[in-house]
């Protein structure tokens, strides 16, 4: 009775052994077949007003320079590219695209594409700056701006934080402890996130050592957030938050349903500053920093805020509102120069008044929307920022336009350091993160040496 089974087992074993003999007959490519480099004629991508800019494309297929392949391109002010398409041919692997110039501070953008011999279309976006240090915001500061936010934060601080902790075993080990924490950050506002800290000697938060605290607000939308040990490995207590109070421990399918309650939050309640959704978010982030600074493990000196995109905007806002903040490190911040599109210039995310981005749709009276947004435009928080600031951004970003980021940067009077990588978009190179970390350590060490 066992013979058929044994025969089948042997047959399967022989087949498996045979299958292991098949091997790939060609090597894995170690470079892309088509290599492309786009280089402006000014190495830093910066030009004076009236200077002519050009873009040199270099392309090779398998190491052979392209010859005769046509490049289609459109050039115009950032986020206002024309419909008209021009073209130029590669000659000995090079194509020269005339970008032109600007007579007012801002950015020119070039979108190019070409079809190579492998049948694929290669395309990219390149932007160059004209007198970016002269870019000024179109957003004025309301006369009661400071009073409005001081009252909002004072009211929120009357509400006990009531932290609610939940263990997160998958992100807890012999070095670090992670807990999901839910905080009552305002009269009608809760936030939650993941708190990760060096493992204490005893108790949930007690530790003989003291640490800097780092708050990380989230990017836009309502996607799940996840714990990180990046800053805890640098001997910091770290809190990564979600601004919508979505339950981060739900299974993915259930979370997808819960997050729908946050849809359209960017323009919710825009009728007045007091009802706008971001009011409780801005104050809530400041309260989240209050929470970190209430922990027994805080060193009592260093309170850092850092994040990217919407998180970059909330970084500036939190550091400006909360007097406990000591360092501000935003990456490509959103919500800057929000009325830029009304002046035919690229504004910041969520691109209000642009007419081409659904998250930026405004359904109320335009003048009322403009009046409300003045209280939430990050450029006005940049104006009152007092702590050292490290900011990093790129020029190919079509989400948070470099024009809008420069508008905020130029308003900062506090000590500041910038890291610009022209070829990066709505993301950062590892080197930018490393520079930011070194900058943080330098200031932390200064504070530690001079209590």
CB 204 within 8 A of CB 179: yes
H-only helix segments in 184-302: 252-258, 277-292
Three-state secondary structure call for residue 390 = strand
Quick one: 27 exposed, middle or buried, by C-beta within 10 A (0-12, 13-18, 19+)? exposed
Paired with 106 in beta bridges are 130
Annotation says 419 is catalytic? no
For the residues of 161-208, what is the DSSP string, one character each? ---EEEE-GGG--SSEEEEEEEEEEETTEEEEEEEEEEPPSSSSS--S
| Preceding amide of 350 cis, omega within 30 | yes
For the residues of 72-113, what is the DSSP string, one character each? EEEEEETT---S--EEEE-BTTEEEEEEE--SSSEEEEEEEE
Annotation says 290 is catalytic? no
Return the residue matching tokens 């640098």: 234
Report the residue count for the chain.
451
Six token digits for residue 52: 């002519």
Annotation says 155 is catalytic? no
CA–CA separation, 152 and 287 (whole Å): 11
End-to-end CA distance of the chain: 84
Six token digits for residue 104: 């007012």
Distances (CA, A) of 135 to 129, 340, 449: 10, 11, 38
CA–CA separation, 393 and 331 (whole Å): 6
How many Cβ atoms from other residues are within 10 Å of residue 117's Cβ? Answer: 12
Going by their DSSP bridges, the two strands 53-61 and 46-47 should be labelled as unpaired
Active-site entry in 309, 401, 404, 424:
309
Active-site entry in 46, 184, 244, 426:
426
Run of H or E residues at 148? helix 145-156
Nearest residue to 75 (alpha-carbon basis) of 59, 48, 57:
57
Active-site entry in 397, 404, 419, 424:
397
Residues assigned a catalytic role: 309, 397, 426
């Amino acid at each position: 009775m066992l013979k058929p089974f044994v025969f089948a087992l042997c047959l399967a074993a022989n087949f498996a052994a045979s299958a292991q003999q098949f091997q790939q007959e060609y090597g894995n490519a170690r470079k892309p077949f088509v290599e492309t480099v786009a280089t402006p004629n000014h190495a830093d991508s910066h030009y004076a007003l009236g200077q002519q800019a050009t873009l040199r494309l270099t392309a090779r297929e398998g190491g052979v320079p392209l010859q005769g392949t046509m490049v289609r391109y459109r050039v115009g002010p950032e986020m206002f590219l024309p419909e008209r398409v021009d073209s130029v041919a590669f000659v000995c692997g090079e194509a020269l695209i005339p970008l032109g110039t600007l007579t007012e501070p801002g950015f020119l953008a070039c979108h190019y594409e070409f079809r190579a011999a492998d049948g694929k279309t290669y395309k990219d976006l390149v932007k160059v700056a004209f007198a970016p240090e002269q870019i000024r915001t179109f957003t004025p500061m309301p006369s009661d701006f400071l009073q409005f936010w001081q009252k909002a934060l004072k009211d929120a601080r009357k509400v006990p934080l009531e932290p609610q902790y939940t263990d997160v075993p998958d992100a807890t080990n012999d070095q670090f402890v992670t807990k999901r924490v839910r905080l009552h950050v305002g009269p009608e506002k809760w936030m939650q996130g993941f708190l990760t800290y060096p493992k204490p000697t005893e108790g949930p938060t007690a530790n003989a050592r003291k640490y800097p605290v780092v708050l990380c607000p989230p990017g836009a939308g309502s996607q799940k957030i996840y714990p990180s040990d990046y800053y805890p490995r640098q001997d910091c207590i770290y809190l990564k938050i979600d601004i919508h109070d979505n339950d981060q421990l739900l299974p993915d399918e259930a979370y997808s349903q819960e997050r729908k309650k946050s849809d359209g939050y960017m323009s919710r309640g825009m009728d007045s500053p007091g009802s706008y959704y971001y009011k409780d978010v801005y104050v809530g982030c400041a309260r989240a920093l209050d929470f970190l600074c209430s922990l027994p493990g805080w060193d009592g000196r260093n309170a850092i805020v850092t994040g990217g995109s919407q998180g970059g905007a909330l970084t500036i806002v939190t550091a400006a509102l909360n007097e406990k903040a000591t360092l501000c490190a935003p990456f490509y911040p959103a919500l800057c120069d929000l009325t830029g599109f009304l002046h035919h210039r690229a504004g910041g995310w969520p691109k209000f008044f642009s007419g081409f981005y659904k998250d930026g749709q405004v359904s109320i009276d335009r003048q009322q929307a403009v009046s409300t947004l003045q209280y939430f435009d990050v450029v006005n928080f940049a104006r009152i920022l007092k702590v050292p600031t490290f900011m990093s951004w790129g020029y190919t970003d079509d989400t948070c336009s470099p024009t809008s980021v420069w508008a905020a940067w130029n308003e900062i009077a506090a000590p500041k350091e910038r890291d610009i990588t022209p070829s990066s978009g709505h993301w950062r190179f590892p080197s930018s993160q490393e520079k930011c970390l070194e900058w943080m350590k330098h200031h932390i060490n200064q504070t530690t040496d001079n209590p």
